[in-house]
Amino acid sequence: MGFKLYDLAGDSDARRFSPPCWRVKMALRHLGLQAEEIPWRFTEKEAISFSGQKLVPVLVDGDKTITDSWEIARYLEAAYPDRPRLFGGSVGEAEALFIKFWCEQTIHPVMLRIILPDLFQHLHENDKAYFRESREKRFGMTLEEFASPTDETIASLRKSLSPLRATLECQPYIGGTSPVFADYIVFAAFQWARAMSPIQLLEPEDPVYAWRVRLLDAFDGYARSALGYTV
């Protein structure tokens, strides 16, 4: 097929931690597709300048280049109509957009506060200054002020996951009986944490934990085989 995916890496090429990249990698596997996963760092802007922008994921499919995880999922859904569906129709796609914003606005910030000290340690040395400067500007405070790897913040994360927990008490996936792109969006946040931090975010009795195990096991343990912490 010849897919190439530019995929954010950390202190080693094997440490892949970007949530948007994990969404795309799970989506490709969902469709039964494989990509060459090219390690990329924040400061390697020139390597992806052909894409006309500065962020990963960048997916190259033959002569097509697609950026932004949501647009890549929409591209794959349209370009490979005979493969398993990522969205399950127009309503499934529209509602997945709500779940994307919920995850990005409600889950990502609190998760980042927990894993930030570990994450910073596992960045590539070339990326640390860029990361500090860009994130401190975004947060309006220093990384050390933003970070909060405390029991209280972990409890807050678990509370924020409450609608997901209630859903998973009724059905095995956000998509119902099988996973869809909305599942991969939320799972990708946990892969971000898993790649970078030994902190245990979920209790084993949590339905969210069992759902995460199912997705770690999916596609012959594809996500589980990535470099990360066993938590």
Which of 68, 76, 36, 59 minimizes the C-alpha distance to 180?
76
Residue 158 neighbours by CB under 8 Å, 6+ apart: 201, 202, 203, 206
Q: For its own copies, which stretch binds (CB under 8 A), given 7-15, 71-79, 172-180, 218-226? A: 172-180
**Conformation bin of residue 221: beta by default, left when phi > 0, alpha when psi is -120 to 50:** left
- Rounded to 5 degrees, φ, ψ at 12 are -130, 155
Q: Is 87 in the site for its own copies (CB under 8 A)?
A: yes
**Beta carbons of 193 and 114 less than 8 angstroms apart:** yes
Judge contact between 190 and 208, C-beta under 8 A. no
> In whole angstroms, how large is the CA radius of gyration of the chain?
17
Rule CB under 8 A: choose which of 92, 117, 149, 207 binds its own copies. Answer: 92
Which of 53, 126, 142, 162 touches its own copies (CB under 8 A)?
Answer: 162
In the complex, least distance from residue 225 CB atom to its own copies, rounded to whole angstroms: 27
Among 32, 84, 89, 221, binds its own copies (CB under 8 A): 89
How many chain residues bind its own copies (CB under 8 A)?
A: 32
Residue 171 found at the interface with its own copies (CB under 8 A): yes
With the CA atoms of 151, 153, 157 and 159 taken in that order, what torsion angle do they form, in degrees rounded to the nearest 10?
Answer: 80
Q: How far is the CB of 89 from its own copies (least distance, A)?
A: 5
Q: Which is nearer to its own copies, 88 or 228 (CB)?
A: 88
Rule CB under 8 A: is residue 206 a binding residue for its own copies? no
Contacts with its own copies, 97-116, as mask; x by CB under 8 A: xxx-xx--xx----------
Residues near its own copies (CB under 8 A): 85, 87-99, 101-102, 105-106, 162-164, 166-167, 170-171, 173-177, 180, 182
